[in-house]
């Protein structure tokens, strides 16, 4: 039954305990008879050799479990910011999520990133405060940070009894019972509900009243019972919490220790009780390709099929796997579907329910299911597949731009065609990874989200038979823009004996502020278009036909081509408004090609005459470590041209948030660990581009 299906993601900061929590969930559900551990490298979702080597999640992995009458599809996502694309595409297809927080670290940098990503997709969440057994654990401090940093409205459903080595378990505020573990059960599955210890009864009563007050915001029935001074039955309270969660009025908060098995069974119950089924989510909205009319597709097996491909994985043995979220209708092996993103017909080979790197073959996939499909040859991340007779295009997935690059140097023994195939598969599977050949140096360049991202990508390339590469020094993805507004006129005339080329264009160029860029984005999206990836916004004010309509688009194309590799530095040009205001034509010699070349030359001249400003990527950096190293950490940030935005100390730990140019962060991991005896760590994410003087930029001489 569809109402018993839950599609959830586990999202969090790196090291909050996502994978361990997933392992305990698999164990308690009976899916695994032996629990896996990150430290021993035998977890179900971290099955990639590099994940097991580094002890981190790199690829999002799907598993399915049965819990009571419910089927729960779980996607364990990475916590490292370099792999934020994995979180982005997972959230796009999920109905709910569990945000895991470390009771010691609280709300850390990447916790904020994934939380606000969830807000973008309006995904209802539970919050789970993990690691209550760790030294320094503070449940209430973590809840306070949720309010301050995430702007969340916590609704506390469980309370911890004790912390650190004294952690005894959790109190269920809905049932008003203590969940006690049987100390003699070596399998760690025997938990029972007992009376709350006298030492914690007053606190439990206090938070029970707060819970009822919050539940009354979602339910008039609860509000009336409270006004009449009556007890609120458990089922009515659960319904109110479920309603408030799905409507995102508040976020239920639970706690426990996944490593010691506390709180995980209760977390699974909460997933089934409070997070939405596909029926509780609004019908997915799409566009009919021919008419551009909006169409809603409800999660009904009887309506035409529609699904979104959100992940592709190269599989050398069985063929490429395409992960698909089925939104409406049914999908069966042998079906022929249409990919509305590229208008290709595709035939479904096999359909699987995934269990990490293991799979169970299915005869049919219905609405609300997340499955892996074999047989799709031309379907990639963000593509819609649907019924041939009733096509619809669902909203695609937008990914952040790469900020760091390095060159790939193939070994002499490497087969170039195999390297090209390896790169093609990698770029297809990872939308945040880009590859190109520099036309001037003929170097092969890959670009990604960070040093770790590039390291992992190169490792994957090396796994292809016949491919061996080394990497050059990482390079920063700089951008450039014009220094001032300018009006540029270009007369393009070429006479070569036959028909010549003639075009005159006059273009106004303006450098855009962040506010102006936001307005342009809104305008472009309202017109049904996608914003230009380089933020080059073109329009025209041509009156009287001085430039005929058929020559306006070629002029725009010429300007955009010139923006891909700007003058002087050769970096892409960004944040510029270009307005074609005038021009001239020749009755015989004018052509689309002439105006395209004129547009290209016009923008190159405008850059030279207006002056060029170099822009560098600025990263938001979060550093966590012992407060005894605070002086070194802050001084080192300043030395790297960084700005400290905020800092806080708690339980002997310091948490510093700053902004540092990416060019100054190469090797930061090694420096930080070496100077803090390995006790500090950091995360970073792209923040914005900012002006930088040429002498401070790390530009290879060949690119100047």
Q: Per-residue confidence at 502, pLDDT binned at 50, 70, 90?
A: very high
Confidence check: pLDDT of 41 > 50: no
What does 171-220 look like in DSSP terms, one character per residue? EETTTTEEEEE-TT-TTS--EEEEPPPHHHHHHHHHHHHHHHHHHHTT-H
Q: Give the model's pLDDT for residue 210.
A: 96
Tokens at residue 9, please?
A: 């993601």
| CATH fold group of domain 616-703 | Alpha-Beta Plaits (3.30.70)
Share of the chain above pLDDT 90, in %: 47
Whether the pLDDT of residue 45 is over 50: the answer is no
Phi-psi region of 476 (alpha: psi -120 to 50; beta: other; left: phi over 0): beta
Cα–Cα distances (Å) from 219 to 123, 238, 276, 279, in that order, read 21, 10, 17, 20
What's the CA gap between 284 and 634, in Å, rounded?
47
Q: What is the DSSP string of 568-624?
A: TT-PPB-SEEEEEEEEE--TTT--HHHHHHHHHHHHHHHHHHH-EEEEEEEEEEEEE
Question: Does 404-476 match 484-610 in CATH topology?
Answer: no
Tokens representing residue 290 in the block: 């021919």
Of 176, 207, 209, 206, nearest in space to 194 by CA: 176
CA dihedral 138, 142, 145, 151 (to 10 degrees): -160
Q: What is the pLDDT of residue 573?
A: 92
Q: Confidence band (pLDDT; 50, 70, 90) for 38?
A: very low
Is the per-residue pLDDT at 50 higher than 70? Answer: no
Question: What three-state secondary structure class fits 237?
Answer: helix
- More confident call, 55 vs 613: 613
CATH class of 484-610: alpha beta
Q: What is the DSSP track for 427-440?
A: HHH-TT-EEEE-TT
Quickly state the pLDDT bin for 672 (edges 50, 70, 90).
confident
Which secondary-structure segment (H or E) carries 423?
helix 416-429
Helices 264-274 and 18-28 cross at an angle (nearest 10°) of: 90
pLDDT digits (tens, 9 = 90+) for 583-627: 999 988 899 999 999 999 999 999 999 999 999 989 888 888 888
Report how far residue 372's alpha carbon sits from residue 325's, in angstroms, rounded to the nearest whole number: 9
Q: What pLDDT shows up at residue 681?
A: 75
Give the predicted TM-score (pTM) of the model. Answer: 0.70
pLDDT for 81 equals: 59
Q: Looking at residue 695, what DSSP letter applies?
A: G
Contact yes or no for 90/75 (Cβ under 8 A): yes
The mean pLDDT of 200-206, rounded to a whole number, is 96
Which 3 state secondary structure label does DSSP give 402? coil
In eight-state DSSP terms, residue 279 is G
pLDDT in tens, 303-314: 999 999 888 877
> From 3.40.190.10, 3.10.450.50, 3.20.20.240, 3.40.50.300, which CATH number describes the 2-280 domain?
3.40.50.300
Q: Does domain 404-476 have CATH number 3.20.20.210?
A: no
pLDDT at position 358: 74
- Domain-by-domain residue ranges, the chain? 2-280, 284-394, 404-476, 484-610, 616-703
pLDDT tens column, 139-195: 999 999 999 989 899 999 999 999 888 899 999 999 999 999 998 888 888 999 999
Query: 455: buried, middle or exposed (CB in 10 Å: 19+, 13-18, 0-12)?
Result: middle
Lowest-pLDDT range of 222-236, 310-324, 658-672? 310-324
**Are 168 and 162 a contacting pair, CB within 8 Å?**
yes
d(CA 123, CA 275): 10
Length of the chain: 704
To the question of domain 284-394 being in CATH 2.40.30.10, the answer is yes
* Beta-ladder partners of 311: 323
- 49, containing H or E segment: helix 49-54
Find the range with the poorest average confidence among 63-72, 225-234, 298-307.
63-72
Predicted local distance difference test score (pLDDT) of residue 280: 93
pLDDT at 40 over 50: no
């Amino acid at each position: 039954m569809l109402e018993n299906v839950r599609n959830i993601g586990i999202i969090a900061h790196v090291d909050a305990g996502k994978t361990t929590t997933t392992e305990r969930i698999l164990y308690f559900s009976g899916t695994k008879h032996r629990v896996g551990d990150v430290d021993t490298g035998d977890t179900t979702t971290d099955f990639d050799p590099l994940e097991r080597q580094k002890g981190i999640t790199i690829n999002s992995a799907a598993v399915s479990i049965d819990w009571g009458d419910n089927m729960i599809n779980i996607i364990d996502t990475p916590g490292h910011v370099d792999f934020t694309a994995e979180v982005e595409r997972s959230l796009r297809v999920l109905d709910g999520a569990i945000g895991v927080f470390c009771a010691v670290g609280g709300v850390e940098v990447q916790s904020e990133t994934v939380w606000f990503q969830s807000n973008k997709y309006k995904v209802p969440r539970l919050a789970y405060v993990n690691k209550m057994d760790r030294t320094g654990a503070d449940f209430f401090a973590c809840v306070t940070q949720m309010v301050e940093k995430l702007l969340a409205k916590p609704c506390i459903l469980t309370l911890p009894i004790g912390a650190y080595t004294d952690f005894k378990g959790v109190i269920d505020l809905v049932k008003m019972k203590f969940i006690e573990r049987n100390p003699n059960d070596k399998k760690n599955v025997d938990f029972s509900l007992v009376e709350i210890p006298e030492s914690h009864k007053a606190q439990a009563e206090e938070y029970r009243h707060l819970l009822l007050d919050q539940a009354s915001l979602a339910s008039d029935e609860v509000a009336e019972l409270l006004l009449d001074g009556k007890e609120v039955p458990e089922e009515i309270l659960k319904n109110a919490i479920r309603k408030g969660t799905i409507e995102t009025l508040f976020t239920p908060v639970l706690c426990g220790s996944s490593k010691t098995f506390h709180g995980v069974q209760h977390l699974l119950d909460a997933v089934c009780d409070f997070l939405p089924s596909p029926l509780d989510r609004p019908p997915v909205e799409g566009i009919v390709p021919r008419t551009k009319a909006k169409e809603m597709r409800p999660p009904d097996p009887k309506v035409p099929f529609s699904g979104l491909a959100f992940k592709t994985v190269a599989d050398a043995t069985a063929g490429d796997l395409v992960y698909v979220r089925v939104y409406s209708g049914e999908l069966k092996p042998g079906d022929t579907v249409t990919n509305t993103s590229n208008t290709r017909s595709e035939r479904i080979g096999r359909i699987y329910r995934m269990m990490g790197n293991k799979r169970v073959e299915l005869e049919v996939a219905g609405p609300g299911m997340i499955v892996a499909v074999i047989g799709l040859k031309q379907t990639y991340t963000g593509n819609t597949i649907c019924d041939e007779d009733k096509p619809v295009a669902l909203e695609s997935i937008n990914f952040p731009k790469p900020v760091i690059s390095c060159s790939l140097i193939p070994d002499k023994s490497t087969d170039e065609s195999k390297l090209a195939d390896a790169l093609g598969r990698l770029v297809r599977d990872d939308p945040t990874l880009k590859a190109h050949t520099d036309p001037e140096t003929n170097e092969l360049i890959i670009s990604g989200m960070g040093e770790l991202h590039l390291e992992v990508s190169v490792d994957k390339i090396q796994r292809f038979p016949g491919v061996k590469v080394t990497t050059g020094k990482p390079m920063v993805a700089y951008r450039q823009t014009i220094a001032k507004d300018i009006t540029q006129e270009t007369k393009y005339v070429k006479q070569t004996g036959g028909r010549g080329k003639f075009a005159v264009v006059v273009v106004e160029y303006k450098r855009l502020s962040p506010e102006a860029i936001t307005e342009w984005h809104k305008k472009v999206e309202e017109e049904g278009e996608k914003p230009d990836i380089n933020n080059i916004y073109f329009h025209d004010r041509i009156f009287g036909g001085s430039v005929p309509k058929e020559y306006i688009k070629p002029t725009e194309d010429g300007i955009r081509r010139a923006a891909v590799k700007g003058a002087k530095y050769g970096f892409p040009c960004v944040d510029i408004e270009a307005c074609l205001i005038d021009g001239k034509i020749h009755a015989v010699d004018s052509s689309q090609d002439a105006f395209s070349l004129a547009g290209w030359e016009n923008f190159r001249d405008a850059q030279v005459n207006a002056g060029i400003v170099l822009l560098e990527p600025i990263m938001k950096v979060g550093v966590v470590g012992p407060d005894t190293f605070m002086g070194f950490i802050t001084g080192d940030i300043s030395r790297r041209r960084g700005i400290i935005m905020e800092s806080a100390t708690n339980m002997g730990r310091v948490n510093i948030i700053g902004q540092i140019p990416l060019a100054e962060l190469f090797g930061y991991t090694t420096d930080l660990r070496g100077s803090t005896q390995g006790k500090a760590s950091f995360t970073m994410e792209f923040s914005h581009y900012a002006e930088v003087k040429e002498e401070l930029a790390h530009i290879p001489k060949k690119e100047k």
